[in-house]
Copies of this chain bind each other. A is one copy, B any other.
Amino acid sequence: MLLRMSNLFVRTLREVPADAELPGHRALLRAGYVRPAGSGVHSWLPLGYRVLRNVERIIREEMDAMGAQEVHFPALLPREPYERSGRWDDYGDNLFRLKDRRGNDHLLAPTHEEMFTLLVKDLYGSYRDLPLSIYQIQTKYRDEARPRAGLLRSREFLMKDSYSFDVDDAGLEASYQAHRAAYVRTFDRLRLDYVVVSAMSGAMGGSGSEEFLCPTPVGEDTYVRSPGGYAANAEAVVTPVPEPVPYDDVPEAHVEDTPDTPTIETLVAFANEHFPRPDRAWDAADTLKNVVVMVHHPDGTHEPLVIGVPGDRDVDPRRLAAQLEPSEVAPFTDEDFERDPGLTKGYLGPQVLGKGSATGIRYLVDPRIVEGTRWVTGANEHGHHVFDLVCGRDFTPDGTIEAAEVRDGDPAPDGSGPLELARGIEIGHIFQLGRKYAEALDLQVQDEHGELVTVTMGSYGIGVSRAVAAIAETTVDDLGLCWPRVVAPADVHLVVAGKSDDIVAGAERLTAELVDAGVRVLLDDRSKERPGVKFKDAELIGVPTIVVVGRGLAEGTIEVKDRRTGAREDVALADAVEHLRRLTMTG
Residues of A within 8 A of B (CB): 7-11, 32, 35, 37-39, 41-46, 49, 52, 67, 69-78, 93-94, 96-98, 100-101, 104, 108, 115, 119, 122-124, 132, 134, 139, 141, 143, 145, 155-156
Contact = CB atoms under 8 A, between A and B. Distances in A.
Contacts of A11: 123-124
B75 A46 contact: no
Contact of A100 (B45, B52, B100, B143): B143
B96 A97 contact: no
Nearest to A45: B71
Given A98-B98, A134-B9, A75 B44 contact: no
Given A43-B115, A46-B134, A52-B72, 4 more contacts: A32-B123, A41-B76, A49-B70, A76-B108
A35 B122 contact: yes
23 contacts: A7-B67, A7-B132, A9-B123, A9-B132, A35-B119, A37-B73, A37-B77, A37-B115, A38-B77, A39-B78, A41-B77, A43-B72, A46-B69, A46-B134, A49-B70, A49-B71, A75-B75, A76-B96, A96-B100, A97-B98, A98-B98, A100-B143, A139-B139
Which are the 5 A-B pairs with shortest beta-carbon distances? A98-B98, A41-B74, A44-B72, A93-B101, A38-B78
Contacts of A134: 9, 46
Contacts of A75: 75, 139, 156
A8 B124 CA distance: 11
Contacts of A74: 37-38, 41-43, 156
Contacts of A93: 101
A95 to B, nearest CB: 9
A149 to B, nearest CB: 14
How many chain copies does the complex carry?
A: 2
B43 A123 contact: no
Contacts of A76: 38, 41, 96, 108, 141, 155-156
Contact of A71 (B43, B70, B73): B43
A141 B39 CA distance: 20
A448 to B, nearest CB: 14
A509 B52 CA distance: 38
Nearest to A72: B44
Nearest to A53: B70
Contact of A119 (B43, B70, B100): B43
A152 to B, nearest CB: 16
Nearest to A130: B7
Nearest to A67: B7
Contacts of A122: 35
Nearest to A124: B11
A146 to B, nearest CB: 11
A308 to B, nearest CB: 32
